[in-house]
Amino acid sequence: MATPPYQMVVLWSTLEDVKGVVQYGEDQVQLKGQANGTRTRLTFESWNARQFMHRAQLKKLKAKTKYFYKVTSVYGATTTSSRIFSFTTMDVTTTRRAAFLVYGDLGVEGKDTFSRIQQEVDSGDYDSIWHIGDFAYDMHSNGGLVGDQFMRAVENIAANIPYMTSPGNHEIAGAEEFLHYRTRFSTPGTAWPIPLNSMWYSYNVGPVHFISYSTEVYFTHDQNYVCEQYDWLLKDLLHANQNRQSQPWIVAMGHRPMYCSNSDIDDCTGRIFSGWVRRSLEDLFHVQGVDLVIEAHEHSYERLFPLYKGNLVRTDYNNLTNSVHVISGAAGNKEGRDGMSGSFKPWSAYRHDKVGDNTYGRLVVHNSTHLYWDQVRSVNGDVIDSMWLVQYNHGPFVSNVSCEGRGDHSSCHCPTPFHYLTASICIVVVLVVVVVGIVAGVVTWRRRRRQRNKNYQLMSVVSDEDNEGLLSL
Question: With pLDDT > 90 as the criterion, what percentage of the chain qualifies?
Answer: 81
Residue among 6, 192, 10, 182 nearest 85 (CA): 10
Average pLDDT of the residues in 229-256:
98
Residue 471 has pLDDT above 70, yes or no: no
Supply the mean pLDDT for the chain: 92
Q: What does R_g of the chain's alpha carbons equal in angstroms?
A: 30
pLDDT value of position 400: 87
pLDDT value of position 4: 61
SS3 call for 422: helix
Tell me the pLDDT band of 62, cut-offs 50, 70 and 90: very high
Average pLDDT of the residues in 338-361:
94
pLDDT value of position 189: 93
- Residue predicted with more confidence, 418 or 347: 347
Strand runs (DSSP E) across 47-197, as ranges? 52-58, 66-75, 78-81, 85-88, 98-103, 106-107, 128-132, 135-136, 163-166
Whether residue 5 is preceded by a cis peptide bond, meaning omega within 30 degrees of 0, is: no
Backbone angles phi, psi at 122, to 5 degrees: -65, -20
Q: How far is CA 76 from CA 31, 73, 82, 277, in A?
A: 22, 10, 18, 51
Torsion of CA 117, 120, 125, 127, to 10 degrees: 10
Residue 327 has pLDDT above 90, yes or no: yes
CA count, 13 A, side-chain hemisphere, 468: 6
Tell me the pLDDT band of 421, cut-offs 50, 70 and 90: low
Average pLDDT of the residues in 143-148:
97
pLDDT value of position 470: 41
